[in-house]
Amino acid sequence: MANDLIIAPDPSKPGLTRAVTATDQTGATVVLNVVEERPLTIWLNGSEIVTAMTIGDYPEYLALGFLANQGMLAADETVLAVDYDDDLETVVVRTDGQTSYEEKLKKKTRTSGCAVGTVFGDIMEGIAGVTLPDATVCASDLYALAHQINQMPSLYLDAGAIHGTVLCQGANPLVYMEDVGRHNAVDKIAGWMRATGATAADKTLYTTGRLTSEMVIKCAIMGIPVLASRSGFTAWGVELAGQVGLTLIGRMRGQRYQCVAGEHRLVRDVDL
């Protein structure tokens, strides 16, 4: 199934991992792969916005998605260019409008995201008017997705210390992104959706990480009505999901799961 994905993990891609020498519990020498971690500085026109720690793949999607999810890139704003410089480890997103985010940059919250997630300015106000589509999600599709995703080759299986996020439609995984921070993996998907014009109304976002407030906020801003994970929830994540009408499903193990918000979209079509 991984071959049918639009974007699938590629653990063999050069630069994503490095071989290191270790000793195991018996004292024997072993060689193992570990994930690389590097800085990426994101600029919007003439403003330096943030430096994120990332594995370095799909930097253009990461920059686009981050800016969109932070409310710094409007849906109707024209992106003229996205320029990545590998030597400088910098992405510059250029638009047709003037941008000034000094005040927003002063107001930022460090989140619980791995590799230090950051939420800027008035992003909470940005979800106040969000209305998510009245889609449905079938339990049978959730089971099929979890099984497929857990079987796919990935950096997580090859090296660990990584989070995965998958954009899905029905029982079909479409785009699978990984990164040291789950927020980065989500932003890469948001950037891909922005760049390709992909619709959100009929999609599910599946993540390997915990369902925090930041994950709920990003999913709502992206317009995706269903967020699912094999991990658990935070109380604020549950509260925000209820406020924006997001279907939030977690602790998926086998045919077990818990839906803590948006149950009206869930179709229990499997006889347990």
Q: What is the mean pLDDT of residues 47-57?
A: 95
Q: What is the pLDDT of residue 128?
A: 77
pLDDT level of residue 110 (50, 70, 90 thresholds): very low
Q: What is the pLDDT of residue 82?
A: 98
pLDDT level of residue 2 (50, 70, 90 thresholds): very low
98, pLDDT greater than 80: no
Strand ranges (E), 24-78: 29-35, 38-44, 47-54
* 213-243 pLDDT tens trace: 999 999 999 999 999 999 999 999 999 999 9
Domain boundaries, the chain: 137-267
Q: What is the pLDDT of residue 95?
A: 96
Spatial CA neighbour of 33 closest among 2, 11, 58, 10: 11
SS3 assignment, position 69:
helix
Say which amino acid occupies 12.
Answer: S
Q: What is the mean pLDDT of residues 115-141?
A: 76
pTM, entire model: 0.90
pLDDT level of residue 129 (50, 70, 90 thresholds): confident
Spatial CA neighbour of 252 closest among 206, 218, 215: 206
Q: What is the pLDDT of residue 117?
A: 53
Q: What is the pLDDT of residue 103?
A: 55
Q: What is the mean pLDDT of residues 110-139?
A: 70
Residues β-bridged to residue 154:
none
Higher pLDDT, 84 or 254: 84
* 135-153 pLDDT tens trace: 999 999 999 999 999 999 9
Higher pLDDT, 25 or 1: 25
Fold of the CATH domain 137-267: Cytidine Deaminase; domain 2 (3.40.140)
pLDDT level of residue 186 (50, 70, 90 thresholds): very high
Q: What is the mean pLDDT of residues 14-42?
A: 96
Say which amino acid occupies 189.
Answer: I
Residue 17's alpha-carbon distances to 48, 56, 120, 177, in angstroms, are 28, 11, 30, 15
pLDDT level of residue 1 (50, 70, 90 thresholds): very low
Spatial CA neighbour of 136 closest among 41, 36, 262: 262
Give the separation between CA 107 and CA 136, rounded to whole angstroms.
37
Comparing 25-29, 130-134, 184-188, the range with the smallest average pLDDT is: 130-134
112, pLDDT greater than 50: no
